[in-house]
Chain A
Amino acid sequence: GENVEQHPSTLSVQEGDSAVIKCTYSDSASNYFPWYKQELGKGPQLIIDIRSNVGEKKDQRIAVTLNKTAKHFSLHITETQPEDSAVYFCAAGEAQKLVFGQGTRLTINP
């Protein structure tokens, strides 16, 4: 079955700097790659996603890149703000099922 590895597990950056989180997946059949943000005590919130026929997608300060050949995808957050502090999860999806990475706890230092 699919296996998703996410790194780093924790990330601390200065406010205004960029943050990058990386994920690799194992199943070449996966064709959908969302990123979720989870704040303490809440459910995951979809922040951006990418399909396998696209290499890069951007939405304001966040962007996702996908390399299908290497089976990895990354989340980029620019101009980080304190409200970006949360746990971020990547996932790989195929046939109505999402397989999640282990999560990255992102802390933005003022």
Chain B
Amino acid sequence: NAGVMQNPRHLVRRRGQEARLRCSPMKGHSHVYWYRQLPEEGLKFMVYLQKENIIDESGMPKERFSAEFPKEGPSILRIQQVVRGDSAAYFCASSPSAGGWYEQYFGPGTRLTVT
């Protein structure tokens, strides 16, 4: 049973470019969460999505960041016009249902470096 998959594992972007991070949840899981981890810090909640719905985006920066979880395919975290401060590890987690939200299983992360 494959776990949460994220790609790419490492992503390098120049300032001003766009970054697209993909997350495929565990089989049978329909809820996805994105977290950001700055170096030497804990994970910070960004957004919680179900298929075709954003449930809670209270942790998302107001500009340049967006997330989606389409009916088919992986969840996408999109960062437009990246800046050096966006350099971080981005993790997604999935859970089986709203009632099972506490069972969050994390992927290996995407490490974004902005040059």
Q: How far is the CB of A75 from chain B (nearest CB, A)?
A: 14
Q: Given A44-B43, A89-B42, A102-B42 in contact, is the A96-B56 Cβ separation under 8 Å?
A: yes
- Where chain A touches its partner, the secondary structure class is strand
Nearest A residue to B102 by beta-carbon distance?
A: A32
> Does A46 contact B104, Cβ atoms closer than 8 Å?
yes
Q: Total number of A-B contacts with CB less than 8 angstroms?
A: 57
* Complex CA–CA separation, A41 to B108 (angstroms): 8
Nearest B residue to A93 by beta-carbon distance?
A: B102
Q: Mark A96-110, 1 if CB is under 8 A from B, else 0.
A: 111111110000000
Name the B residues within 8 Å of A4 (CB-CB): 42
What bracket does the count of chain A residues touching chain B fall in? 20 to 34
* Complex CA–CA separation, A34 to B44 (angstroms): 15
* Complex CA–CA separation, A96 to B45 (angstroms): 10
Binding site for B on A (CB under 8 A): 4, 6, 32, 34, 36, 41-46, 49, 89, 93, 95-103
Cβ contacts A to B, 8 pairs, < 8 Å: A34-B104, A44-B106, A45-B106, A46-B104, A93-B101, A96-B31, A97-B48, A98-B104
Binding site for A on B (CB under 8 A): 4, 6, 31, 33, 35, 40-45, 48, 55-56, 58, 91, 98, 101-102, 104-109
